């Protein structure tokens, strides 16, 4: 498939062309696009860490309906509906503070404070840590993701732990 064909297949829409509503009972979306109402629409974030504002909307069979380049440009109701479901589907705890980090061999035992409370988890080796600019993404031994949105915004102790370990 050529790049041009791939981009055409994405069917990137302008935010004003669509309207989105959440069916909270079924955790799916209703999408109005080109005078058609799609039911049981599921959003997919192909790049949840590096480009989370890009979303592909799929029908109940898993086929692409359209793509949204930047969900932040949607109308308030559509954006709120979409973000509520995305938060459920793509929950990645944000680390606010590193309380303790112990290294034993190639294993790291983390004790952290997240926006949802304290979390303790284990990672294996330095390859489970990804730095994207000033952002840090951590994959634990159970394949759960954790994120530090801005290393520079952490408290001094947390920054020192990261700097001395990585």
At 91 the three-state DSSP class reads coil
Which of 72, 88, 104 lies at the terminal end of a domain, its last residue? 88
Q: Are residues 161 and 124 in the same domain?
A: yes
- Number of Cβ within 10 Å of residue 154's Cβ equals 19
Q: What is the pLDDT of residues 94-117, one digit of tens each?
A: 999 999 999 999 999 999 999 989
- pLDDT at 3 exceeding the cut of 80: no
Which of 88, 107, 131 lies at the terminal end of a domain, its last residue? 88
d(CA 114, CA 121): 12
Which of 88, 114, 131 lies at the terminal end of a domain, its last residue? 88
Q: Are residues 112 and 78 in the same domain?
A: no
Structurally, the chain folds into a number of domains equal to 2
For residue 17, give its domain range: 3-88
What average pLDDT score do residues 38-61 get?
92
In 55-106 the beta strands, taken as DSSP E runs, fall at 55-58, 64-68, 95-104
Q: Are residues 67 and 136 in the same domain?
A: no
Q: Are residues 59 and 80 in the same domain?
A: yes
- Tell me which residue of 105, 96, 97 sits closest to 123, measured CA to CA: 105
Res 67: pLDDT: 96
Q: Return the structure tokens found at 118.
A: 């304290």
């Amino acid at each position: 498939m050529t790049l041009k064909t791939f981009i055409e297949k994405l069917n990137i829409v302008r935010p004003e062309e669509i309207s989105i509503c959440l069916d909270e009972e079924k955790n799916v979306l209703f999408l109005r696009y080109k005078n058609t109402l799609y039911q049981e629409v599921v959003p997919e974030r192909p790049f949840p860490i590096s480009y989370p504002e890009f979303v592909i909307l799929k029908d109940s069979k898993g086929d692409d309906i359209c793509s949204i380049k930047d969900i932040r440009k949607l109308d308030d109701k559509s954006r709120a509906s979409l973000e509520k479901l995305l938060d459920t589907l793509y929950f990645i705890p944000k680390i606010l503070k590193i309380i303790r980090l112990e290294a034993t061999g190639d294993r790291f035992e983390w004790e952290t404070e997240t926006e949802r409370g304290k979390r303790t988890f284990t990672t294996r080796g330095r390859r489970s840590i990804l730095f994207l600019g000033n952002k840090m993404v951590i994959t634990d031994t159970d394949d759960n993701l954790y994120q530090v949105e801005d290393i520079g915004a952490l408290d001094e102790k947390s920054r020192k732990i990261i700097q001395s370990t990585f």
